[in-house]
Amino acid sequence: MIEEGKPAPDFELATDTGERVKLSDFRGKPVVLYFYPKDDTPGCTVEACGFRDAYAEFEQRGAVVLGVSPDDEASHTKFKEKYSLPFTLLADPEHQVADDYGVWGEKKFAGKTYWGVKRSTFVIDADGNVARVMHNVKPDGHPEQVLAALP
């Protein structure tokens, strides 16, 4: 379980452009690491567009926004282009990072049980420590909550 005040687990994933990045590449800046279930679905689109619309405020605060889902790079590219998302999307198809952050698990939807990403956000400070953990977030209005939590 990820705890506030502890170092954030480092990882390396492919971006929507096919580059590989590590969380530690962003040391020196606060990072908003948000996990979402699936590209181009209603809730995930609301959340992503909320981050897009507030992106200038994140930039003013020096923060990097990273969205993570199990979708592949091609799916991320389409999603990013369709909604003009200005931040990086990371592909976690094997859900290793979701596992490491404790957000991969059993979910129920429409009377069915399945495994997937539980919508969660981690605010990581410039030193690489977890400043805030937010689980079971609601997509609408979430970026404003994240801005308020930035160190």
pLDDT tier at 1 (50, 70, 90 boundaries)? confident
Domain segments of the chain as ranges: 30-149
What is the CATH T-level fold of the domain 30-149, as seen in this structure?
Answer: Glutaredoxin (3.40.30)
What average pLDDT does the chain have?
A: 95
pLDDT tier at 107 (50, 70, 90 boundaries)? confident
Report the catalytic residues.
44
What's the pLDDT tens digit per position in 72-95?
Answer: 999 999 999 999 999 999 999 999
The residues, any chain, with a CB within 8 Å of residue 70's CB and separated by 6 or more, are: 37, 38, 91, 92, 93, 94, 95, 98, 116, 117
